[in-house]
Amino acid sequence: MSAVSDILNRKGSKALTQILIFLVSFVLALLVGGVLLLLQGHDNVFSVYYYLLIQPFTTWNGFVKVLTQTTPLIFAGLSVAIAFKDMDITLGEYLPRVDATYDNMKYHKDYKEERYTDYSRSYWAVGLNVSWDVFTGGSTTFSYLGDKKRVEALQKDYEDAMSGAKTDVIRSLLDIKAAKDLISVSRKGVEAAKESYDMANKRYMTHTGTITDLLDAQLKLTQAETDASQALMEYHSARSKFFYYIGRENISLE
C-alpha cells in the first residue's frame, strides 16, 4: 500500500508542477503582451485582453467565430496525434506477437426413455501463441520511416498554421498602430492645407494673388483631405482584420 501511495503522490506532484508551469507561462505571456501593446500605443490594455479572452466566449456569435477559426488548428493537432499513434503501432511490429485464445463448449443430452439418465458435459481450452518475425525484407523499417516522415510533415503543417495565426494577429495590431500614426500625420496635413488655402484666398480677394494660386491651394487641400480619408479607411480595415483574426465581430459595427 505504501508503494501505491508513493506512486500516486508522485503523479499528483507531477500534475501540480505542470499546472503551475502552465499558469506561470500564461501570466508571463499576458505581461509581455501588455508591455508590447503599451509600446505600440494602446492605452487600455485591459480592454484588449477583454475582447481577446473573455468576450469571444461569452457571446454566441463570438463563440461560433472562435470555433470557426480554431477548427482547422484542432484538426491539424489531431492529425499529428493520430500520426504519432500510427508510428507507435508500426514500431510494435518489431516486437513478438502474442495471441491468446479461449474456447468453451457445453454439451447436454436428454433421453426420452426412462432407463437412460440425462447428462451434460463442459469443455474448455486456453491457448497462447507467440510468434516473432525475424526478417521481413525491411518492410517494417520502411513503414516506420514513412510514418516518421508523415508525422514530421504534419507537425510542420501544424506549426505553420499556428505561426500563421499568430502572425496575422500581430500584423493586424501593427497595421492599426501604423494607421493611427498616418491619421495623425494626415490631419496635420489637412490643417496646413487649410491655412494655405485661407492665405491664398485672402491674397486673391485683395488682388495680391492669382486664381492659379488659389486653385493650386484648393487642390492641395482636397488631396490632403483624401489622404486623411484613406488613412481612416486603412485604420478601420486593420481593426476589422484584427477582430476577424481573434474570432470576434467588429465592435464598431455593432
Q: How is residue 100 annotated by DSSP?
A: E
Q: What is the pLDDT along the chain (254 residues), one digit of tens a residue?
A: 455 455 556 666 777 887 888 788 878 887 887 787 777 666 677 777 776 677 666 767 666 766 776 777 777 777 777 777 777 777 666 677 777 787 777 766 666 666 656 667 777 778 777 777 666 656 767 777 777 788 788 878 877 777 777 788 788 888 888 888 888 888 888 899 898 888 988 888 888 878 888 888 889 889 988 988 888 888 888 888 877 777 666 555 44
Task: List residues bridging with 104 in a β-sheet.
Answer: 124
Spatial neighbors of 80 by CB under 8 A, at least 6 apart, are 151, 154, 155, 158
Phi, psi angles (nearest 5°) of residue 209:
-130, 165
Could you give the CA distance from residue 73 to residue 80 in angstroms, rounded to a whole number? 11
Q: Which of 245, 103, 123 is nearest to 173 (CA)?
A: 245
